[in-house]
Amino acid sequence: MLQLEGQHSGQAKMFDGAQPLFVFGVIADVQYANVDNGSNYLKTRRRYYRNSVTLLHDAVEHWNGIAPHFIVQLGDLIDGLNKKHNFSAKALEIVMKEFQRCRTKIHHVWGNHEFYNFTREYLMSSILNSKVLESALDDISVNPEDHAAEAAIYSYHFSPTPSFRFVLLDAYDLSVLGRKAPSKKYNQSLKILQDKNKNQNLNCPPEGQCGTEQRFVQFNGGFSKEQLSWLDKILTYADKNLEKVTIISHLPVHPDSTDPICLAWNYEEVLSVLHSHKSVVCFMAGHDHDGGYHMDHRGIHHVTMEGVIETPPDTNAFATVYVHQDRMILKGVGRVSDRIMLYPST
């Protein structure tokens, strides 16, 4: 039986027979590389670099049998090891061949491994820029970009059907990854890191710190004031038009949905924006390969997807989400649990 979220167990019921308004697939952290199996940074989990593209192949086969309206790829599509072996472009070609077999559109989020392999300028003009799939609104600004090309923010929104909207956020808008030194955002990001983390290696968590203070590491990032202002405008529009909004990002923003070392630097600011609007129903992220889930006090479902890269060859890690007027039904495969997520009451 599916796990029911957002409703007391005594009130639990299944929603048999109801046709969804639309369906979408979601997958995270494929991190393909043509190298032997390895382990994570802490040497606690196995990583299956070559086999990850096989699991992606199987996910695409599954979705082609279902015909979802679109797929959300939550970032870290190829691993940073590709850069070391001068294999970045070829690795991207290999995984994109799998996605090109998919009979629907793909929305690509950018994670830290995208920036280990490519510059922001390269990504902006690459096949990983799915911004061309967006549906613009006439009465609000769609691009939260500065005039300088270097400062561009990769974020957009789209509406797959009336009364529903998805917003893709750039979690490395503030980052020392992908931002050129000595640009304004690079310097701002480096200061955020160095004020909180005194280690020479900024990928090591701050010494003597625990809990959410561990998030100030180089492989994380944050959201600029410009991007959060843009998000606020989108959500204000959605509130006014009684839309339900799902937000997608590489980095999680709720400490109870992830290991705290994987949180966005300024997650509290993001939550403040989300909680000031009634339209947000779900926040989906990757980055933490163990996955996670939390429904916050405002009824927003925070879903952190398990990573394909740390999924053994005999299973998988992806999901298909069936969207209804009053809930989402997430059907997981392999390591991903099933969930029914009721929307917050307004």
SS3 19: coil
| CA nearest to 3, candidates 325, 306, 301, 318 | 301
Q: How many helices (H) and strands (E) does the chain have?
A: 8, 15
The pTM of this model reads 0.93
The separation between the first and the last C-alpha atoms of the chain, rounded to the nearest angstrom, is: 28
25/332 Cα distance (integer angstroms): 10
Task: List, in order, residues 6 or more apart from 18 with CB less than 8 Å away.
Answer: 324
Strand pairing partners for 328?
323, 341
Domains present along the chain, CATH in parentheses: 22-342 (3.60.21.10)
Residue given tokens 């050129």 in the structure block:
180
Taking only the tens of pLDDT, the chain with its 346 residues reads 444 454 433 333 444 568 999 999 999 999 999 999 999 877 889 999 999 999 999 999 999 999 999 999 999 999 999 999 999 999 999 999 999 999 999 999 999 999 999 999 999 999 999 998 775 564 455 454 443 444 589 999 999 999 999 999 999 999 999 999 999 999 999 999 999 999 999 999 998 888 999 999 999 999 999 999 999 999 999 999 999 999 999 999 999 999 999 999 999 999 999 999 999 999 999 999 999 999 999 999 999 999 999 999 999 999 999 999 999 999 999 999 999 999 998 5
